[in-house]
């Protein structure tokens, strides 16, 4: 049985520790009784100090990005060693905003992924197609390319430690959600790729989250689909009540 995982990607919001603390103090009591759902808040680096606030709760903390070296002359980058040392448990890699705005490619994401795994950080790796890919019937081709590039050289043991986030780029921050059927079809395809590249048991054990305008009113329909193991949530994770409702919708 795969335990659903809900991530709250705050992007470049609530990065002031006081704002982040306020949000968490509202969220913690709302979700304290939630069982069998992994909850991860992914704040900006400047608010990672909230790690101290979630201690002893059912909420974990992740970073939005990292570099693939531990230290050195890499101005503006964040070391996985620093993340690990401060108690960060997860790291999001290859978010479409990193790929599109900051020109990160599969090769770079693959290097980061290997480093994160070697540091025992839990990676949440994003893949997804643009609207024009979907309109041209190229969704599976794009997903296969990203899968093979991003997970190049990743062992069977390692892939089971990774959470894959399927995030159709046309649905991120747009208010346009993939229908549960559209999302499940791609999730099923990703599972097929896992089966072909590893084996059936591995394919069944890897968690695949959906991301793209998940809201309290569409979450449970999405999460009921067989291949959807929770969600990576942007906008709706900034409000404690909305995010708590989405988390509760993932409880099976
Ligand atoms: C995201 O940031 O990964 C995301 C899916 O954003 P939103 O929920 O706002 O579409």
| Residues 32-54 pLDDT 10s | 999 999 999 999 999 999 999 99
Going from N- to C-terminal start, the domains of the chain cover 5-249
Instruction: Give the architecture-level CATH label for domain 5-249.
Output: Alpha-Beta Barrel (3.20)
Per annotation, catalytic residue among 97, 104, 129, 167: 167
Per residue in 5-24, pLDDT (tens digit) is 999 999 999 999 999 999 99
Whole-Å CA distances, 161 to 17, 66, 118:
30, 17, 11
The encoded tokens of residue 166 equal 């399927």
Q: Which of 69, 95, 97, 158 is catalytic?
A: 95
- 212 ligand 1 Cβ < 6 A: yes
- Ligand 1 atom at shortest distance from the alpha carbon of 95: 3
Q: How far is the CA of 147 from the centre of ligand 1 (A)?
A: 20
pLDDT at 74 over 80: yes
61 alpha carbon – ligand 1 mean position (Å): 17
Ligand 1 near 123 CB (within 6 A): no
Cβ of 9 closer than 6 Å to ligand 1, yes or no, is yes
Q: Is 92 in the pocket of ligand 1 (CB under 6 A)?
A: no
pTM, full prediction: 0.97
Task: Find out whether the beta carbon of 173 lies less than 6 Å from any atom of ligand 1.
Answer: yes
Alpha helices, DSSP H, located in 198-232:
200-205, 219-223
User: What are the residues facing 210 on neighbouring strands?
Assistant: 166, 231
Element (H, E) at 106: helix 106-118
Q: What tokens appear for 121 in the block?
A: 């950080």
pLDDT tens digits, 98-146? 999 999 999 999 999 999 999 999 999 999 999 999 999 999 999 999 9
Average pLDDT for 65-92: 98
Please confirm, yes or no, whether 13 is among the known catalytic residues.
Answer: no
Report H helices in the chain: 17-31, 51-54, 80-85, 96-100, 106-118, 131-135, 139-150, 156-159, 180-197, 200-205, 219-223, 240-249
Q: What is the DSSP string of 161-200?
A: TPEEEE--GGGTTTS-PPPHHHHHHHHHHHHHHHHHHS-H
pLDDT tens digits, residue range 193-238? Answer: 999 999 999 999 999 999 999 999 999 999 999 999 999 999 999 9
> What's the mean pLDDT when you consider all of the chain?
97
Choosing from 63, 231, 233, 245 the residue with most ligand 1 atoms within 8 A of its CB, the one to mutate for a pocket test is 233
Say how many C-beta atoms besides its own lie within 10 A of residue 207's C-beta: 18
């Amino acid at each position: 049985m795969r335990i659903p995982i809900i991530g709250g990607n705050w992007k470049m919001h609530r990065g002031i520790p006081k704002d982040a603390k306020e949000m968490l103090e509202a969220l913690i009591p709302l979700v304290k009784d939630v069982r069998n759902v992994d909850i991860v808040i992914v704040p900006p680096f400047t608010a990672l100090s909230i790690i101290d606030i979630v201690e002893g709760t059912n909420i974990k903390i992740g970073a939005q990005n990292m570099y693939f070296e531990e230290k050195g002359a890499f101005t503006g980058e964040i070391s996985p060693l620093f993340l690990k040392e401060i108690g960060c448990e997860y790291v999001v890699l290859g978010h479409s905003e990193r790929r599109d705005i900051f020109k990160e490619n599969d090769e770079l994401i693959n290097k980061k992924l290997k480093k994160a795994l070697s540091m025992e950080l839990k990676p949440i790796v994003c893949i997804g197609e643009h609207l024009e890919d979907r309109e041209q019937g190229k969704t599976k081709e794009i997903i296969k390319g990203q899968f093979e590039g991003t997970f190049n050289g990743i062992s069977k043991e390692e892939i089971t430690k990774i959470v894959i986030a399927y995030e159709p780029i046309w649905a991120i921050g747009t208010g346009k959600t993939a229908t549960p059927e559209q999302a499940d079809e791609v999730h099923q395809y990703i599972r097929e790729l896992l089966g072909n590249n590893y084996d059936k048991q591995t394919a069944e054990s890897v968690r695949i989250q959906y991301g793209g305008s998940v809201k309290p009113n569409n979450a449970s329909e999405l999460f009921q689909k067989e291949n959807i193991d929770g969600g990576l949530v942007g906008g709706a994770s900034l409000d404690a009540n909305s995010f708590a409702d989405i988390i509760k919708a993932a409880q099976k």
